[in-house]
A and B are shown apart, each in its own frame.
Chain A
Amino acid sequence: MILKLGLLYSRIRRDEKLLLDELRERGHDVEKIDVRDQRFDVAAGGEVFADLDLVVDRCLATSRSLYATRFCEAYGVPVVNGNETAEVCADKAKNSLALAAAGVPTPETTVAFTKESALEAIESFGYPCVLKPVVGSWGRLMAKIDSRDAAEAILEHKATLGHYEHKVFYVQEFVEKPGRDIRVLATDGEPVAAMVRSSDHWLTNAAKGAETAEFELDAEAKALVEKASDAVGGGLLGVDLMETGDSYTVHEVNHTVEFKALNDAVDADVPAAVVDWLEAKAGEPADEDAPEVTA
């Protein structure tokens, strides 16, 4: 089956090039949709969204991803990942709540709205602990706090300089991981491939230059990936886990996941597996029970 597939983007990274190459090799009709050129009319979608079998959201900006997926759903166009998943994954506080509600082990986390209450939360965790922005990625603006002096300074800076979202203080326990964490790419909870990201730095993002290597998931990790995926509504996801002795904790699930580093690190053909899944997804019947979007 040849698909007419829309790819929402504002920047074509190597991830999108890998996907585009795979889709075109299979003969699918791909419409690249630069969201910067679009106007999203609340009454109806423009021509660009007509007759698409499926839209794949690859927006680099979280804010654009959230609105664009919402509009696609309002236009009746199937989109992956869906807006519900995007909403939960885009915000670390919502992400943590969803994981905890589903019984997925996740680091202890507290959210506070003022410097004073955030400082109390930090003191209750003890040092070191971690302060993260609720929105953001690539390890930006993450702080490992080693002392009360540092906590006071960082909170003051965030409160004074930050966007209002930086006044939502997300405080988390510092997990003593073995110098690495695990990134799993999964399609509706089914792992495609996994890698460890290792670094001497406490941040182990591939975007920060961490070394990567393939990782063999055990049964417990696979079960957690499936559970974490379900907790956020499923889709094409990057599930991040940390090893805690003989078990794992899931610290977040990413909804417009980058996979170029993973593809380089593993034997599996990641874009091929993603496109296999997209083909299956496009063939699924529409969800009659899905709530009507009235945004």
Chain B
Amino acid sequence: MSQCVECGADLTLHDDLEAGEIVDCTTCGAELEVVDVEPPVLDRAPELEEDWGE
């Protein structure tokens, strides 16, 4: 069990977590980045940039 760094809500994370993955907090909607997986460490995800994605 991890906690949302934005609102403190408990988060249930899935098993195949990857560092660099983004998970959503189902309580406050914040986008969180998985910084580490063992144990899971979460941080606020970086803001969307204009040159992201294809």
Residues of A within 8 A of B (CB): 9-13, 16-17, 20-21, 32, 34, 60-63, 133, 135-138, 140-141, 163, 207, 238, 254-258
Q: How far is the CB of A212 from chain B (nearest CB, A)?
A: 16
Q: Is the CB of B50 within 8 A of A12?
A: no
Question: How far apart sit A133 and B1, CA to CA, in the bound complex (Å)?
Answer: 42
Q: How many residues of B contact A (CB 8 A)?
A: 16
Residue in B closest to A238 when the chains form the complex, CB atoms: B54
A254 and B19 contact, CB distance less than 8 A: no
A10 touches B20 (CB 8 A): yes
- Tell me if B15 is interfacial: C-beta within 8 Å of chain A: no
Please state if A254 and B51 are interface contacts (CB–CB under 8 Å).
no
B38, CB-defined interface residue at 8 Å: no
- Asked if B6 CB lies within 8 Å of chain A CBs, one says no
Q: Is the CB of B53 within 8 A of A137?
A: yes
A-B contact pairs, 12 of them (CB 8 A): A11-B46, A12-B19, A12-B34, A16-B18, A17-B16, A21-B16, A60-B53, A61-B51, A63-B51, A136-B51, A137-B53, A254-B54
Q: Give B20 Cβ to nearest chain A Cβ, in Å.
A: 4
| Pairwise interchain contact A135-B53, C-beta atoms closer than 8 A | no
Write the residues of chain B forming the contact surface with A, with a CB cutoff of 8 angstroms.
Answer: 16, 18-22, 33-34, 45-46, 49-54
Apart from A20-B18, A60-B53, list 17 A-B contacts with CB within 8 A: A11-B46, A12-B18, A12-B19, A12-B21, A12-B22, A13-B22, A16-B18, A17-B16, A17-B18, A32-B19, A32-B20, A61-B49, A61-B52, A135-B50, A136-B51, A137-B51, A163-B50
Q: Whole-angstrom distance from the CB of B41 to the nearest CB of chain A?
A: 14
- Complex Cα distance, B52 from A136, in Å, reads 7
* Shortest beta-carbon distance from B36 to chain A in Å: 12
CB-based nearest B residue for A9: B20
CB distance A62 to B51 under 8 Å?
yes
| Among all A-B residue pairs, the 8 with the closest Cβ atoms | A12-B20, A62-B51, A254-B54, A12-B21, A12-B18, A137-B53, A138-B53, A137-B54
> What are the residues of chain B within 8 A of A11 when measuring CB–CB?
20-22, 33, 45-46
Give min CB distance, A236 to chain B, whole Å.
11
Check A135 against B19 for contact (C-beta < 8 Å). no
> Shortest Cβ distance from A65 into chain B, in angstroms?
9
Instruction: Point out the residue from B20, B22, B45, B53 that lies within 8 Å of A34, measured CB to CB.
Output: B20
**Distance from A7 Cβ to chain B, minimum over Cβ atoms (Å):** 10
Chain A residues, CB < 8 A from B53? 60, 137-138, 207, 258
* Smallest beta-carbon distance B34→chain A, Å: 8
Contact of B19 among A13, A34, A140, A238 (CB under 8 A): A34
A255 to B51, CA, bound (A): 13
B19 CB contacts on chain A under 8 angstroms: 12, 32, 34
Give the complex CA separation of A258 and B52 in angstroms. 11
Task: State how many angstroms separate the Cβ of A276 from the closest Cβ of chain B.
Answer: 21
Residue of B nearest to A257 (CB): B54
On chain B, the residues within 8 Å of A17 by CB distance are 16, 18, 21
B18 contacts A60, C-beta separation under 8 Å:
no
Most buried by B among A9, A11, A21: A11
Q: How far is the CA of A9 from the CA of B33 in the complex (A)?
A: 13
Bound: A253/B19 CA distance, A: 29
